[in-house]
Amino acid sequence: MKIIMKDNFSRDLFAEQIVAENVNEYIGKQLVKQWNERYWHEQSDYYLELVEDDYELYDGYADLI
C-alpha cells in the first residue's frame, strides 16, 4: 500500500503525490489517521489517504498539455 496526498477541494489542477510506498496496511492506517487528525482542517489544501499499490495518481496538469 502507499500513502498519497490528495486535494481537499477536488480541484482539476492538482497533482497527487506519493508520501510513502510499501507501507503495511495497519501502520499506514494509523499514520494517515494521526496526520489527518493533527494537520487537517476544513480549509486545508490537502489530506493524506492510504491506497492500494496499483492506484494511479491523478495529475490534472497533464490534461493541459
State the 10-residue block means of pLDDT for the chain, 65 residues long.
Answer: 95 92 97 96 94 94 74
Supply the pLDDT for residue 46.
Answer: 94
Supply the pLDDT for residue 13.
Answer: 87
Supply the pLDDT for residue 62.
Answer: 79
How many separate helices (H) and strands (E) can be counted in the chain?
1, 3
Supply the pLDDT for residue 37.
Answer: 96
- How many structural domains comprise the chain? 1
Domain that residue 10 falls in: 2-64
Q: Which helix (H) or strand (E) holds 29?
A: helix 25-39
Supply the pLDDT for residue 12.
Answer: 86
Give the three-state DSSP class for 36: helix
Question: What is the four-CA torsion angle of 59, 12, 18, 33, rounded to 10 degrees?
Answer: -160
